[in-house]
Amino acid sequence: MSRFKVIYLNHATEDVYDIIRSQLPDGFDLITLEKDDDQERREKIKEVDFVLVATAKITEDMLRDAKKLKLIQHQGVGYDTTDVNTAKRMGIPIGLTPEGTSIGVAEHTILLILAVYKKIVVAHNSLVKGEWLQFALRPNSYEMYGKTLGLIGFGRIGREVAKRAKPFDVRILYYDKYIHVPVDEKEKLGVEEVSFKRLLSEADIVSLHVPLTNETRSMMNREVFKSMKNSAIFINTARGALVDEGALYEALRDRTIAGAGLDVFEKEPPSADNPLFKLDNVVLTPHISAGTKDALIAKMRAAFANLVRVTKGEVPFNLVP
């Protein structure tokens, strides 16, 4: 009986590969990369039946010779790194994995809000240098209690953020151009739907939870940051390209807004000279909001289940239209 080959297109550590292999279905072999190299990707993708990918780019060059490829399975819900047009032209479906993402990202959103408000990075770095800022940080440290949280985007992740923010006794506003939320669900979550303009003007915390599309690219620009409160903070756990990073840097530098917590960047990894690194009113993490062992196991189970559906002649779930 022939076995199916699936390549994990991101280069990872052996312990990550071990977690992935632990969920591998019978009849499948996992192909991994020896290094983070596109030439190796192009060579190995030729012989596989399936691609499992996190953030690595899938280009036309890679797909051109992938004659056996039956499915590209993203382990998350973003697919902007894949050449969708070429995949469609070649008849290769693209599957998404919403499972395992929402909770981790929602928790990380709350983490970044608290870290920015409580100056956690400044407090830690000063303490290990021998400083004791017990009182010095108080004039610019805050609680979530009583603040207004504005969620831009109210899909799966936005709603999970709302659930976790509600016990902090915050007022929750949301804006979503496309998603309709029933009145009873709004009441249960304790949220209010408002316009984009009103959200920006009233929110103490603006958190971004929309997909990256041609419409949303650089949606957070200079004028948008100017529309926010000077005391507001900005959180992004979605996609870096949703934000004009230069405009964000200027807004933080000039105190147009008070602070930011970022898990994603326009360029990943960011350059060593990224000006955001010089600011003391930001908290930065390396795209790890959904990067937990719990999430990876859940993702792999769901992703491999989609691959199995294809081998049985069934239509996979969560396909890119």
Whole-number Å distance between alpha carbons of 173 and 134:
33
- Type of residue at 110: I
Domain presence at residue 270: yes
Same domain, 13 and 84: yes
Same domain, 116 and 38: no
Same domain, 72 and 194: no
Q: Check residue 207 and give its pLDDT.
A: 99
- Give per-residue pLDDT as tens, 192-202: 999 999 999 99
Domain presence at residue 321: no
Q: Check residue 96 and give its pLDDT.
A: 97
> What is the mean pLDDT of the segment spanning 128-142?
97
Same domain, 113 and 206: yes
Q: Check residue 1 and give its pLDDT.
A: 62
Q: Give residue 34's domain range.
A: 4-100+292-311
Same domain, 270 and 208: yes
pLDDT band at 302 (very low <50, low <70, confident <90, very high): very high
- Give per-residue pLDDT as tens, 244-264: 999 999 999 999 999 999 999
Query: 4, 29 in Cβ contact below 8 A?
Result: yes
Same domain, 226 and 109: yes
pTM: predicted TM-score of the whole model, two decimal places: 0.90
Same domain, 96 and 108: no
Domain presence at residue 278: yes
pLDDT(266) > 80? yes
Domain presence at residue 110: yes
Q: What is the mean pLDDT of the chain?
A: 96
User: How many domains would you assign to the chain?
Assistant: 2
Domain presence at residue 271: yes
Domain presence at residue 34: yes
> What is the mean pLDDT of the segment spanning 172-190?
96
Same domain, 177 and 95: no
- Give per-residue pLDDT as tens, 81-119: 999 999 999 999 999 999 999 999 999 999 999 999 999
Domain presence at residue 317: no
Same domain, 200 and 145: yes
Percent of the chain with pLDDT over 70: 100
Q: Check residue 78 and give its pLDDT.
A: 87
Q: Which residues are catalytic?
A: 239, 268, 287
Peptide bond into 286 cis (omega under 30): no
Domain presence at residue 198: yes
Same domain, 109 and 174: yes
Check which CATH number belongs to the domain holding 72 and give it.
3.40.50.720
